[in-house]
């Protein structure tokens, strides 16, 4: 009998073949199998016969919204600065999107990075994705040669061992606390909607760190980011990071040092997190891309918690909701603004 993910794979392939054959879209953005166990890679199908390469499984952890603006741009006719906009409709693409990726697409539409009319969103309600790092830890770091998925179990095989793992035990932390597994916008829906999930304490990890005194918080922060090698895989995997020149790559002025010195590294992470404030959907793509397991998502999660508490807003939930940090409202809370008088011990 087919598993849930095999059925989703079949339906994604069928939709891709139909959309590409009919000419409704020029490209279909999904995943294909990677060369190692537990790996998949983003794949753009451009012909109906490419559809058979598309796959869906628990390791589809990189957020496909990240590739959407560049894919749309690549299909536009070349233009020089000052040339008039092209006439007529531009080529369209289809993209597979779970709950959080669809919210990132909403953010990209609101920030004018994606034209809604050029995208067919193929929504897939999420069952939570699996952390390859957790799977490796569950088999004590032994080399894995194959992973077979059932609906609630993973069968992991390596040299001289076979081990069954309960799927939920190795689901990524962000997926375990996700309340919105269903796509918030879609043109095609594959599978059944899961509905809003009840999560007792979605910000428990953040609150645990916040409950420490400042010395321990500093210790956590310094230790957690100590092994960062500044490879920027986290930034590159994030659909919010589309700046033509990132602040870390600027040299005039040089906003932050490029070494792995602790101050430079912590500054990079703090600034990157602030750039995502009010926009991050906790998709976990940044954390999944990190080769050394840095929990940088906890910084953006802290900001997500603050934005929810202060502005009642979660990123990308609707195409109409004002963007929390770029829309001025005189009634916005400003208790966090420290006035000069307060700093000197007086009152606001």
Lookup: tokens for 247: 């602040």
Residues forming beta bridges with residue 55, ordered by sequence position: 31
Token pair of 277 as six digits? 């404030």
Q: Does 272 bind ligand SF4 (CB under 6 A)?
A: yes
Determine if 267 is a binding residue for ligand SF4 (CB under 6 A): no
297 binds ligand SF4 (CB under 6 A): yes
33 binds ligand SF4 (CB under 6 A): no
Task: Name the one range near ligand SF4 by CB under 6 A: 67-75, 163-171, 195-203, 243-251.
Answer: 243-251
Give me the half-sphere count of Cα atoms (radius 13 Å) on the Cβ side of residue 25.
27
Contact status: 299 vs ligand SF4 (CB under 6 A): no
Q: Which is nearer to ligand SF4, 231 or 319 (CB)?
A: 231
CB of 248 to ligand SF4, least distance (A): 6
Q: Which of 240, 213, 212, 188 is nearest to 69 (CA)?
A: 240
Of 99-118, binders to ligand SF4 (CB under 6 A) are 104
CB-based burial, 105-143: b 16+ in 10 Å, e otherwise: bbbbbbeebbeeebbbbbbbbbbbbbbbbebbebbeeee
| Nearest Cα to Cα of residue 168 among 156, 176, 178, 157 | 176
Question: Closest distance between ligand SF4 and the C-beta of residue 181, in Å?
Answer: 15
Could you say which of 105, 144, 290, 298 contacts ligand SF4 (CB under 6 A)?
A: 290
Using the rule CB under 6 A, give the single segment among 41-49, 146-154, 225-233, 316-324 that binds ligand SF4.
Answer: 225-233
Distance CA 19, CA 213 (A): 56
Query: Is 234 an interacting residue with respect to ligand SF4 (CB under 6 A)?
Result: yes
When asked if residue 184 is in the footprint of ligand SF4 (CB under 6 A), the reply is no
Number of residues binding to ligand SF4, judged by CB under 6 A: 34
**Which residue's CB is nearer to ligand SF4, number 43 or number 268?**
268
Rounded distance, CA 121 to CA 154, Å? 29
Told to check if 64 binds ligand SF4 by CB under 6 A, we report no
Give Dmax (Cα) for the chain: 71
Radius of gyration of the chain (CA): 22
Please name the residue that has the structure tokens 């939570």: 128
Q: Which residues bind ligand SF4 (CB under 6 A)?
A: 63, 104, 228-235, 237-238, 240-241, 243, 246-247, 272, 275-276, 280-286, 289-290, 292, 294, 296-297, 300
């Amino acid at each position: 009998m087919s598993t849930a993910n095999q059925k989703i794979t079949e339906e994604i392939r069928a939709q891709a073949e139909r959309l590409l054959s009919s000419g409704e879209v020029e490209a279909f953005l999904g995943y294909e199998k990677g060369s190692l166990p537990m790996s998949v890679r983003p794949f753009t199908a451009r012909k109906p016969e490419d559809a058979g390469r598309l796959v869906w499984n628990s390791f589809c952890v990189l957020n496909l919204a990240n590739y959407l603006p560049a894919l749309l741009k690549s299909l536009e006719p070349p233009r020089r600065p000052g040339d008039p906009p092209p006439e007529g409709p531009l080529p369209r693409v289809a993209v597979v999107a779970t709950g959080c990726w669809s919210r990132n697409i909403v953010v990209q539409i609101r920030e004018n990075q994606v034209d809604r009319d050029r995208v067919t969103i193929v929504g897939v309600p999420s069952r939570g994705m699996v952390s390859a790092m957790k799977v490796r830890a569950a088999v004590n770091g032994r080399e894995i040669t194959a992973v077979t998925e059932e609906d609630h179990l993973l069968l992991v095989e390596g040299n001289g061992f076979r081990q069954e793992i309960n799927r939920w035990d190795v689901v990524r932390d962000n997926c375990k606390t996700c309340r919105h597994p269903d796509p918030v916008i879609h043109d095609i829906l594959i599978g059944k909607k899961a509905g809003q999930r009840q999560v007792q304490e979605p910000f428990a990890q953040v609150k645990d760190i916040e409950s420490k005194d400042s010395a321990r918080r500093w210790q956590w922060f310094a230790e957690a980011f100590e092994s960062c090698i500044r490879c920027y895989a986290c930034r590159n995997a994030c659909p919010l990071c589309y700046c033509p020149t990132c602040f870390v790559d600027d040299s005039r002025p040089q906003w932050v040092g490029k070494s792995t010195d602790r101050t430079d590294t912590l500054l990079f992470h703090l600034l990157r997190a602030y750039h995502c404030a009010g926009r991050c959907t906790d998709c976990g793509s940044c954390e999944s891309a990190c080769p050394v397991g840095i929990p940088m998502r906890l910084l953006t999660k802290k900001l997500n918690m603050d934005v929810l508490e202060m502005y009642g807003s979660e990123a990308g939930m609707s195409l109409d909701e004002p963007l929390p940090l770029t829309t001025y409202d005189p009634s916005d809370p400003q208790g966090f603004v420290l006035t000069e008088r307060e700093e000197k011990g007086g009152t606001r």
